Structure 1
Amino acid sequence: MEPATDSPGLTLRTPEGRPYLFDPGALCLELLPTGGPGLLARYEVLHEPADLAHWAARSRLPDGLDLTVGPGELADARALRDALHRLAGDRAHGRALAARDLDVVNERAAREPLAARIDVGAGVGAVRAWAPGATGDQLLSTVARDAVDLFTGPHAHRIRECGSHDCHLLFVDTSRPGRRRWCAMERCGNRSKARAHRARQARSGAGEGSEAGAGGA
């Protein structure tokens, strides 16, 4: 993962190495591309405590987070992420949410979150920042509380999996029309359009061939 542009979301890379912007629509869902349970473990990027701090700096959290992460907190981050993966997948496909995964989120959400503060901004403005000395435990509580808001809020029914057959990224559709289908139009959306175009050309070619055959009979 790389830092995104001014737009919210994460800059991910295709298997071929091309960057694209993926906006899952919520902080808690931004944690999911770091790996996951089962076969998703092959995408694991949270190997060391510094990797969690690296993710936080590239998330939609405001800049300036002074974060210290311990080894135990890294393991907790993976456990929370895997529970969120299963919950988001279940919600996207209309399955009941597993109590064991809800317990993981609720236990983490009950802890002390990151402490927000107001810092002086440019000119006479002010910016949202974080109190110094933040811990990985506080970060995970903030992520879990975001999940509580998402799964109990007005967009809970819009948690979806990318519509591409070979992409399993999860996102919440926060668009006004509510018709988002792809993780990113520049990746899976464009690939789908290209496949549909080739299919139309193939059908058109087959039709022309049939007409030519009938005319020559």
Structure 2
Amino acid sequence: MRESATGAPGLVLHAPEGRPFRFDPGALCLELLPTGGHSGYPRYEVLHTPADLVRWAGGSRLRLGPDLSVSGGELARAHELRSSLWRLATARAHGTAPAAADFEVVNAVAAEPPLVPRIAAGAGKEWVSGATGSALLSTVARDAVELFAGPYARRIRECGSHDCQLLFADTSRPGSRRWCAMERCGNRHKVRAHRSRHQEGDG
């Protein structure tokens, strides 16, 4: 995964066939979920080492620099936080009750000191150097607090494609987003619908 070349929020993911596509899950905390490993997806795990978490932070909407310091314990904590976030987001998407234990994990991580922002020389935003993995995870967890306690909690959805489990918060004005990305699952749906119409016409 890496930051979109356009600078737009979101991640560049790769479909099973290898084709890249940009996926914007609508919130920082949901960007952690496609790193895999949770639930029944251990084969998709990409956070194997602390350096992997550093790379993820650089490719996320945080655009954190490579001077981030992550320990083995912080990597394990990232796995725990990710699992709780995945279960909470899945519960919201499917209309089921979230587990209190998962909220406790998020709250505990959010209670740690977060990343410290500052204004860069060019008036842009950057992060104070020397950040730790705990500060990174606290920032992610605090974003989760804002999401799950805010107005977009009711708009957390799973991609409408039958073979895609990517989760996102629909932050669009009309609230009608169905797909992880139009360039991937949205287009595949259009192709299938087009073929189905032609087959019905031939029949």
Q: What does residue 4 of structure 1 align with?
A: 4
Identity %: 65
Q: What does residue 31 of structure 1 align with?
A: 32
Is the contact made by 1:64 and 1:129 (CA closer than 8 Å) also made in structure 2? no
> Structure 2: how far apart are the matches of 1:164 and 1:25?
18
- Tell me how far 1:37 sits from its aligned partner: 1.9
Q: What does residue 168 of structure 2 align with?
A: 171
How many residues align? The count is 202
Write the letter of the residue equivalent to 2:71: G
Q: What does residue 156 of structure 2 align with?
A: 159
Which whole-Å deviations, capped at 9, do the CAs of 1:163-196 have from their partners, x for residues lacking one?
0000000000111011000000000000001111
Unaligned stretches of 5+ in structure 2?
A: none
The answer on 1:77 being equivalent to 2:74 is no
Is the contact made by 2:57 and 2:63 (CA closer than 8 Å) also made in structure 1? no
Is the contact made by 1:2 and 1:11 (CA closer than 8 Å) also made in structure 2? yes
Unaligned stretches of 5+ in structure 1?
A: 207-217
- Tell me how far 1:62 sits from its aligned partner: 4.1
The answer on 1:61 being equivalent to 2:59 is no
Paired residue secondary structure (1:157) = helix
Is the contact made by 1:112 and 1:138 (CA closer than 8 Å) also made in structure 2? yes
5 Å matches for 1:126-145? Answer: 126-145=123-142
Write the letter of the residue equivalent to 2:130: G
Paired residue secondary structure (2:124) = strand
**TM-score scaled by structure 2?**
0.97
> Structure 2: how far apart are the matches of 1:178 and 1:15?
28
> Structure 1: how far apart are the matches of 2:64 and 2:105?
27
> Structure 2: how far apart are the matches of 1:14 and 1:62?
23
Is the contact made by 1:158 and 1:174 (CA closer than 8 Å) also made in structure 2? yes
Q: CA RMSD in A?
A: 1.1
**TM-score scaled by structure 1?**
0.90
Q: What does residue 190 of structure 2 align with?
A: 193
The answer on 1:146 being equivalent to 2:143 is yes
Is the contact made by 2:36 and 2:46 (CA closer than 8 Å) also made in structure 1? yes
> Structure 2: how far apart are the matches of 1:7 and 1:119?
19
Q: What does residue 114 of structure 2 align with?
A: 113
> Structure 1: how far apart are the matches of 2:103 and 2:37?
16
Paired residue secondary structure (2:80) = helix
Q: What does residue 214 of structure 1 align with?
A: none
* Greater C-alpha Rg: 1
Is the contact made by 1:36 and 1:85 (CA closer than 8 Å) also made in structure 2? no
- Tell me how far 1:119 sits from its aligned partner: 1.7
Paired residue secondary structure (1:101) = helix
> Structure 1: how far apart are the matches of 2:142 and 2:3?
23
